[in-house]
């Protein structure tokens, strides 16, 4: 198949590289992991995005998860417009904050009190500070490949052993500060036990994505790992933080914690709760949340926190997620797409496996039967083949995440025809790549 005309995107990227680091404002957008030219988008509607050259794609990125209703949903856009006419920011309280707070608290089992911020990174950073302030302990545990935003403490990967201090994974992160971050392989119960034994009464919390999506969607549903984390935190006097920035309202109306029936002490949210506008939040047990200023000594503030446009977009989005059978329908179409893509790989003789939870999934090009941790991706997946597959799917009019380490997202706007067309496109691509 001939390549698309992407002349304007190429021109824009050349200009952007002179003005922005890597030509982008978030690294994965630069296509470093897949090669080629990033598409510059002009507009989007429903399940489709259209670039500046007029090419239209079936979109499975969905602004990295928020667009669960699809792009430019009529009710969300109308709500934003009505609110914008009254003013776009006050730097002061507005009633919409109360309305969205009550809605989230009613939907998420573990949240008694909530604080809105402006991004998922801000939510996780603030929740970590709160955990330290509540427990009086400085260290915390995260898992290899787990991305919880770009705060210094989170940009740490594992050392040579599962139970070692982390080393900075980014320039600019002080080594001494990184030593407060303890890392373990995801799904490794014994490694977590070792960390608690070696750091008795020093660990403030564990932070984890209950549905990991930042190394691709991981399989964690067979060994009781999340329940173990809940139990050991209770036993050791540490807090359990669920980072549901990605999975919150994506996998159920109450997030992954509702589906697993596991109650964290703190929950971080973002993406869907703002309907696509910049937003984040963290919430949890009242006795913990009351430690936040001005009620308590843990300081956190933000000029645009509780922004009225984001609050209204979130209200319009969450209200529609409570419609009867919304998640049943979303799960069904996600399952059909996921299974169709894997079947296409099998028919083409391409080694592949995958993980799916709700409307999040990742197809991994690997000989492994299962992908359960970040090292499975980095050490055993064919990243070069993924890059070829990604670019060929672009030429077929399908926009996937430009990295093997990311999740795909299905929205309510995707139709059966969209799914059929995506599966057919993948079959054509796989046939070309194996010819």
Rounded Cα gap, residues 395 and 143, in angstroms: 36
Radius of gyration of the chain measured on its C-alpha atoms: 21
Tokens coding 268: 């971080």
Q: How many residues comprise the chain? A: 435
Rounded Cα gap, residues 290 and 127, in angstroms: 12
Considering only the C-alpha atoms of the chain, give the largest distance between any 2 of them, rounded to a whole number of Å.
65
Options 51, 219, 243, 265, the catalytic residue: 243
**Residues in CB range of 324: below 8 A, 6 or more apart:** none
Rounded Cα gap, residues 310 and 283, in angstroms: 17
Options 139, 142, 271, 333, the catalytic residue: 271
Tokens 């709160």 identify what position?
130
Q: Is 382 a catalytic residue?
A: no
Tokens coding 176: 């001494």
Of the candidates 316, 228, 310, the residue with the CA atom closest to the CA atom of residue 269: 310
239 DSSP β-pair partners:
205
Cβ distance 357 to 250 under 8 Å? no
Instruction: Give yes or no for a cis peptide into 164 (omega within 30° of 0).
Output: no
Cβ distance 397 to 425 under 8 Å? yes
Strands of 408-409's sheet in order across: 353-357, 360-364, 408-409
Provide the terminal-to-terminal Cα distance of the chain, rounded to the nearest Å.
13
Rounded Cα gap, residues 347 and 124, in angstroms: 42
Q: Is 147 a catalytic residue?
A: yes
Rounded Cα gap, residues 412 and 401, in angstroms: 18
Residues 269, 273, 275, 280: what is their CA dihedral angle, to the nearest 10 degrees? -40
Options 57, 60, 147, 327, the catalytic residue: 147
Q: Is 177 a catalytic residue?
A: no
Angle between helix axes 416-433 and 383-395 (nearest 10 degrees) is: 120
Q: Catalytic residue numbers?
A: 147, 243, 271
């Amino acid at each position: 198949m001939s390549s698309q005309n992407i002349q304007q995107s190429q021109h824009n990227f050349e200009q952007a590289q002179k003005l922005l680091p890597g030509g982008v404002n978030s690294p994965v957008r630069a296509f470093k992991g897949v090669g080629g030219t990033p598409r510059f988008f002009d507009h989007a509607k429903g399940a489709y995005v259209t670039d500046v050259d007029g090419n239209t794609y079936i979109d499975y990125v969905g602004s990295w998860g928020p667009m669960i209703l699809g792009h430019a949903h009529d009710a969300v856009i109308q709500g934003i417009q009505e609110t914008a006419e009254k003013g776009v920011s006050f730097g002061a309280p507005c009633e919409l904050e109360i309305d969205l707070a009550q809605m989230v608290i009613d939907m998420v089992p573990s949240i008694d009190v909530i604080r809105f911020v402006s991004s998922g990174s801000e939510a996780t950073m603030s929740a970590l500070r709160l955990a330290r302030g509540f427990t009086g302990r400085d260290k915390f545990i995260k898992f290899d490949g787990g991305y919880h935003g770009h705060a210094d403490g989170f940009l740490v990967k594992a050392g040579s052993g599962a139970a070692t201090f982390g080393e900075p994974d980014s320039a600019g992160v002080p080594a001494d500060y990184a030593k407060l971050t303890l890392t373990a392989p995801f799904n490794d119960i014994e490694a977590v036990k070792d960390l608690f034994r070696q750091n008795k009464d020093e660990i403030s919390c564990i932070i984890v994505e209950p549905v990991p999506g930042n190394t691709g969607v991981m399989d964690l549903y067979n060994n009781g790992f999340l329940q173990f984390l809940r139990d050991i935190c209770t036993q050791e006097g540490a807090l359990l933080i669920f980072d549901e920035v990605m999975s919150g309202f994506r996998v159920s109306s109450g997030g992954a914690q509702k589906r697993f029936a596991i109650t964290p002490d703190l929950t971080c949210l973002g993406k869907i709760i703002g309907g696509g506008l910049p937003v984040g939040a963290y919430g949890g047990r009242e006795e913990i949340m009351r430690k936040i200023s001005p009620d308590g000594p843990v300081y956190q503030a933000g000029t645009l926190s509780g922004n009225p446009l984001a609050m209204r977009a979130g209200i319009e989005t969450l209200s529609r997620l409570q419609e009867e059978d919304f998640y049943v329908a979303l799960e069904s179409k996600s399952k059909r797409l996921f299974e169709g893509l894997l079947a296409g790989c099998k028919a083409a003789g391409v080694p592949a496996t995958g993980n799916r939870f709700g409307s999040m999934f990742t197809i991994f090009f690997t000989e492994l039967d299962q992908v359960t941790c970040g090292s499975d991706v980095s050490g055993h997946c064919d990243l070069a083949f993924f890059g070829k597959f990604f670019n060929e799917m672009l030429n077929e009019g399908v926009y996937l995440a430009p990295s093997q380490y990311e999740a795909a997202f299905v929205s309510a706007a995707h139709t059966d025809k969209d799914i059929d067309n995506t599966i057919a496109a993948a079959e054509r691509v796989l046939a070309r790549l194996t010819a």
